[in-house]
Structure formats: structure tokens, C-alpha cells
């Protein structure tokens, strides 16, 4: 049986962060793992994106752009795309970022949905009421009509089951992976060049992610105020809803503003180098669906300090360190110990062993296993 799989590739094409990284990772891993399967990437428009270079070279990948009625933006993704999928002979459609076309259930096309999180339900105060209602309607409906659901963590699976009444047997946990760039160790020359070009301090902590309240940058800043004055904090990410202004004001109050470096427009190629230069990688987010920066930190062979309470323990396993997201002194104590004593013997190796669970092949095999529950012929 010939299989053509369609993907919602909007974020693979246009988004440079979490959902975009996941989408590209899945498409690339599947295309390489199964060159006999045709992949069609549906996107409202094309963008110049160097991160697509390798995908664009794969012979079994083609793009699909809007045609016919409802050919613009969200209307096309929610309605118009279904007719196009049928005309293109798509056998299976995979919604890579929490949603499916609203009218796909009656099309005869089998569907798989990746659910990343339901943070809009767990932390509603972090979203405006209109966005919350839209997400709850679209994502909740998608969960109910999908033939199979892939949850990127056990925490997300549990949330989907509880909040949307989904049958647990329809949900498979397939963890995310991270870009292979984090596995290549940078040379001293590369690190010095990066430090000079970005004007980095000699000693620094690193926190990567959108600058928003949920990511809990406040905890890292407060902990920094309790650490030696020669230790700085490098923050990589875009501001969301003015949280950066709040954090900047907090740093000024604590008299450590000059110890924070903000890198909003960092090129992705610099991120692995930056991670390998950091003394400690911090990710005290209050709630996540998975927590890619934790995994990236382990691949970078650096100590990672994350927060308890969601799924970050799944991402970091026993190799990362964990603190309560409200415990400033606990956060500072863990970081201080790492700064003074370094990474304990065997911890780096433990991190690499844990990270190996999220390899391209493992992720691809997990997703293919979900597909095979709908199409047994996909089993090699």
C-alpha cells in the first residue's frame, strides 16, 4: 500500500523556536528513516528559513501551498486544507502542533495529532481570555476527533486524558528530540570567537526560552543576586507581554542589572556553543509539555537546574537537578554548589545516556509505531 503523509508544516516553515523545532525534527527524522514514504508539507506560505535546508534536499518531501477557496491563513488550515488533502491523495494527516482541520473527521483521511501541552488550562493566568477560549475549542476538538494522539510527555498524556476525556488507549507517549548540533563539542577557538563577538562575560549562567512569566526567569534572577558578583546571567529569547520589563526592573531593584546579558536575536548556530560555555543551564519553568532546553543542556554536557511540578523530570531524568519553582535559596544553593565543585563524576555520562533515549531513530520509530496502529502495512 502506498502511503502519503500530510503534515501541518506552518510552524516548521515559519517558527524558529519550540513548535518549529519539533516539526522540523519530526519531518526530517521520518523522511530519513523511511525514504519509501511520501511526505507533503502543508504551509500557508513559504519563508526564507535556513533551518529547512536539509529537509529541502530530501527527495521524498514536497510542499503544499493553499489553493481554491479558504486559501488564506487560518481559514485554510482550519477548513480549506481538507479538500486539498483529498485531491493530493493524502492517506494520513499529522497535526504537528496541537490542532487538526475542523472538518477533517468526515473526510475519510486518518489523523494523528501531536499534543505538546495544555498550559492554557493549567496556568490560565498566563493567557488572555480570548486566546484561552480559542485554544480550548480548537485543541479540545482536535483531541476528540483524532484517530491517534501523540503526547510529547507522560505529563501531557495525563493532562489530555483528564481535561478532554480522551481514552488512554488512543494516546501514545513519544518524546521529543533535540537538534544534532548540540552533540558536537565546540573547540576552544570557536568558543573564544563566540564570546568575543557576543561580548559575553567570563562566567555565566544560561537561560533559554521565551521571556514570559511561565518560564520563571524571576527565580533565576533572584538566585543570581545570592551568587558571587563575577557570575553573570545570559538570557536568550524574545519578550512576551512585557515580562522582560518586569525582570529588568527586578534586576535593578536587586542591583544586579549589569550582570545580565540579553540576547534576543541570537542566531541558532550560536546556541550550542553558548550552552557549552555556560557554567550552569537554568530552566525553572513552572509548567512545560516537555522542556527541550533541559535536553539540550544534557547534550551540551553541562549541569542543568530545572523546576519540579510538570514534566521537566522526564526531560532531564536523574542527570539534571531540580528545585521548587518558588525556592530562591534552594535554586541559589544548587547553582552555588555546581559553581564551586563542578559537575560530579559520572553526571555528564548519565546525562548523555539519558539524552540517547531521544535520538532521531527512537523518535521516528515511536511515531511510526503510532502510524502503524492505523496502517499496519507501515511496519517494516
Query: Same structural domain for residues 298 and 200?
Result: yes
Residue 10 is predicted with a pLDDT of 93
Q: What is the pLDDT of residues 228-271, one digit of tens each?
A: 999 999 999 999 889 999 999 999 999 999 999 999 989 889 99
Beta strands in the chain (DSSP E): 4-8, 38-42, 61-64, 92-95, 110-115, 148-151, 171-173, 204-208, 232-236, 260-263, 280-283, 304-307, 321-323
Tell me the C-alpha distance between 273 and 277, whole Å: 6
- Whether the pLDDT of residue 173 is over 70: the answer is yes
Query: Same structural domain for residues 97 and 41?
Result: yes
Give the three-state DSSP class for 106.
Answer: helix
- Whether the pLDDT of residue 48 is over 90: the answer is no
Handedness of CA 250, 252, 257, 263 (dihedral sign): positive
Query: Same structural domain for residues 185 and 129?
Result: no
CB atoms within 10 A of CB 168: 10
Q: What is the pLDDT of residues 93-110, one digit of tens each?
A: 999 999 999 999 999 999
Query: Same structural domain for residues 169 and 197?
Result: no
Interval 75-80 mean pLDDT: 88
| CATH number of the domain that residue 17 is part of | 3.40.50.2000
Specify the number of domains making up the chain. Answer: 2
Q: Cβ-count burial of 202 within 10 angstroms (0-12 exposed, 13-18 middle, 19+ buried)? A: exposed
DSSP-derived letter for residue 30 is H
CB 183 within 8 A of CB 297: no
Query: Same structural domain for residues 167 and 264?
Result: no
Interval 115-141 mean pLDDT: 95
Angle at 166 between CA 162 and CA 167, to 5 degrees: 115
Residue 70 is predicted with a pLDDT of 63
Question: Where residue 60 falls among pLDDT bands split at 50, 70, 90?
Answer: very high
Sheet containing strand 260-263, strands side by side: 260-263, 232-236, 204-208, 280-283, 304-307, 321-323
CB 67 within 8 A of CB 84: yes
Question: Where residue 38 falls among pLDDT bands split at 50, 70, 90?
Answer: very high
Handedness of CA 306, 358, 24, 139 (dihedral sign): negative
- Whether the pLDDT of residue 92 is over 70: the answer is yes
Average pLDDT of every residue of the chain: 94
Can you give the residue range of the structural domain that contains 192? 180-357
Query: Same structural domain for residues 195 and 230?
Result: yes
Residue 180 is predicted with a pLDDT of 87
Residue 71 is predicted with a pLDDT of 62
Residue 1 is predicted with a pLDDT of 55
Left if phi > 0, otherwise alpha if psi is -120 to 50, otherwise beta: which for 108? left
> In whole angstroms, how far apart are CA 153 and each of 12, 114, 158, 212, 335?
20, 11, 9, 22, 26
Q: What is the pLDDT of residues 324-337, one digit of tens each?
A: 999 999 999 999 99
How many DSSP H helices and E strands does the chain contain? 17, 13
Tell me the C-alpha distance between 328 and 226, whole Å: 9
CB atoms within 10 A of CB 353: 13
Query: Same structural domain for residues 165 and 83?
Result: yes
| Cβ neighbours of residue 182 closer than 8 Å, sequence gap 6 or more | 271, 272, 275, 296, 299, 300
CB 274 within 8 A of CB 266: yes
Interval 104-125 mean pLDDT: 96
- Rounded (10°) angle between helices 18-33 and 292-299: 60
Please report, rounded to a whole number, the percentage of residues in the chain having pLDDT higher than 90.
Answer: 85
Q: What is the pLDDT of residues 301-317, one digit of tens each?
A: 999 999 999 999 999 99
Tell me the C-alpha distance between 97 and 17, whole Å: 12
CB 149 within 8 A of CB 166: yes
Tell me the C-alpha distance between 19 and 17, whole Å: 6
Q: What torsion do the CA atoms of 151, 155, 160, 161 make, to the nearest 10 degrees?
A: 110
Query: Same structural domain for residues 268 and 325?
Result: yes
pTM of the predicted structure, to 2 decimals: 0.93
Residue 378 is predicted with a pLDDT of 82
Query: Same structural domain for residues 93 and 229?
Result: no
Residue 72 is predicted with a pLDDT of 67
Query: Same structural domain for residues 228 and 324?
Result: yes
Write down the residue that cell numbers 541559589 correspond to: 332
Q: What is the pLDDT of residues 3-31, one digit of tens each?
A: 899 999 999 999 878 889 899 999 999 99
Write down the residue that cell numbers 475542523 correspond to: 102
Query: Same structural domain for residues 111 and 128?
Result: yes
- Whether the pLDDT of residue 61 is over 70: the answer is yes
Give the phi and the psi of residue 290 in degrees, each rounded to 5.
-145, -65
Give the three-state DSSP class for 124.
Answer: helix
Tell me the C-alpha distance between 115 and 138, whole Å: 12
Query: Same structural domain for residues 111 and 17?
Result: yes
Amino acid at each position: 500500500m502506498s502511503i502519503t503523509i500530510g503534515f501541518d508544516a506552518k510552524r516548521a516553515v515559519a517558527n524558529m523556536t519550540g513548535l518549529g523545532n519539533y516539526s522540523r525534527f519530526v519531518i526530517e527524522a521520518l523522511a530519513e528513516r523511511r525514504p519509501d514514504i511520501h511526505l507533503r508539507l502543508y504551509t500557508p506560505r513559504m519563508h526564507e528559513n535556513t533551518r529547512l535546508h536539509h529537509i529541502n534536499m530530501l527527495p521524498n518531501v514536497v510542499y503544499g501551498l493553499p489553493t481554491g477557496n479558504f486559501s488564506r491563513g487560518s481559514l485554510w488550515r482550519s477548513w480549506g486544507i481538507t479538500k486539498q488533502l483529498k485531491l493530493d491523495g493524502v492517506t494520513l494527516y499529522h497535526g504537528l502542533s496541537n490542532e487538526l482541520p475542523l472538518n477533517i473527521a468526515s473526510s475519510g483521511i486518518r489523523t494523528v495529532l501531536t499534543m505538546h501541552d495544555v498550559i492554557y488550562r493549567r496556568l490560565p493566568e498566563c493567557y488572555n481570555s480570548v486566546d484561552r477560549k480559542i485554544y480550548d475549542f480548537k485543541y479540545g476538538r482536535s483531541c476528540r476527533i483524532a484517530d491517534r494522539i501523540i503526547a510529547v510527555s507522560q505529563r501531557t498524556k495525563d493532562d489530555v486524558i483528564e481535561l478532554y476525556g480522551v481514552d488512554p488507549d488512543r494516546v501514545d507517549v513519544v518524546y521529543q528530540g533535540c537538534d544534532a548540533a548540540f552533540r558536537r563539542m565546540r573547540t576552544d577557538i570557536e568558543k573564544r570567537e563566540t564570546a568575543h563577538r557576543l561580548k559575553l562575560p567570563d562566567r555565566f549562567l544560561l537561560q533559554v526560552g521565551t521571556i514570559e512569566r511561565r518560564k520563571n526567569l524571576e527565580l533565576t534572577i533572584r538566585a543570581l543576586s545570592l551568587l558571587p558578583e563575577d557570575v553573570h546571567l545570559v538570557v536568550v529569547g524574545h519578550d512576551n507581554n512585557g515580562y522582560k520589563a518586569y525582570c529588568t526592573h527586578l534586576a535593578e531593584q536587586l542591583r544586579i542589572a549589569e550582570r545580565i546579558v540579553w540576547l534576543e536575536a541570537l542566531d541558532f548556530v550560536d546556541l550550542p556553543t553558548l550552552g557549552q560555555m555556560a557554567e550552569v543551564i537554568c530552566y525553572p519553568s513552572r509548567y512545560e509539555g516537555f522542556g527541550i532546553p533541559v535536553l539540550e543542556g544534557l547534550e551540551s554536557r553541562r549541569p542543568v537546574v530545572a523546576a519540579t511540578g510538570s514534566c521537566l523530570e522526564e526531560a532531564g531524568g536523574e542527570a539534571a537537578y531540580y528545585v521548587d519553582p518558588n525556592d530562591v535559596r534552594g535554586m541559589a544553593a544548587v547553582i552555588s554548589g555546581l559553581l564551586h565543585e563542578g559537575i560530579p563524576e559520572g553526571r555528564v555520562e548519565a546525562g548523555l545516556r539519558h539524552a540517547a533515549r531521544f535520538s532521531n531513530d527512537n523518535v521516528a520509530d515511536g511515531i511510526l509505531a503510532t502510524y502503524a496502529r492505523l496502517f499496519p502495512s507501515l511496519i517494516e
